[in-house]
């Protein structure tokens, strides 16, 4: 059973997936988990594999959700993305990192898709 925070996160990811599909993305994986970490959504847009972090906020008290993807989080996502590409024999594929920002409430949310939100980070 999901707690309130997990339920909110799941709803945000569902909204993000729906918005991405409308923009032409093909969803390949949701909640891709490895021992290294998790990526919320892995999708394909044209010939590019896109690793997507979803951030949703109930209020803007702590700022816009898009600013919550810290350098530490970027490194973790990068490591999982490299693992995914290697394990699916797609190491040579074009790839990028997007962020979907949802705020402040899922019922009346402003969804922003930020393409190329950050570069591969592994230091």
Which numeric CATH code is attached to 4-118?
Answer: 3.40.1350.10
Average pLDDT rounded to a whole number, residues 76-104: 94
Query: Rounded to 5 degrees, what are φ and ψ at 112?
Result: -120, 125
d(C-alpha 28, C-alpha 77), whole Å: 16
Q: Is the pLDDT of residue 87 over 70?
A: yes
Q: Do 33 and 41 form a contact (C-beta atoms < 8 A)?
A: no
Domain residues of the chain, as ranges? 4-118
| Whole-prediction pTM | 0.89
In this predicted structure, what is the pLDDT of residue 66?
72
d(C-alpha 54, C-alpha 37), whole Å: 14
In this predicted structure, what is the pLDDT of residue 12?
85
Q: What confidence tens digit (pLDDT) does each residue in 43-85 have?
A: 999 999 999 999 987 666 666 677 789 999 999 999 999 999 9
């Amino acid at each position: 059973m999901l707690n309130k925070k997990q339920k909110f996160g799941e709803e945000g990811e569902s909204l993000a997936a729906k918005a991405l599909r409308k923009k032409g993305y093909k969803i390949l994986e949701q909640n891709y988990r490895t021992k290294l970490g998790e990526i919320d959504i892995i999708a394909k847009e044209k010939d590019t594999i896109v690793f997507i972090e979803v951030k949703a906020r109930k209020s803007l008290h702590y700022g816009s959700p898009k600013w919550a993807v810290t350098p530490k989080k970027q490194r973790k996502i990068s490591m999982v993305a490299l693992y995914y590409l290697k394990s699916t024999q797609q190491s040579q594929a074009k790839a990028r990192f997007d962020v979907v920002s949802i705020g402040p409430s899922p019922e009346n949310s402003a969804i922003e898709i930020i393409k190329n939100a950050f570069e591969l980070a592994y230091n």
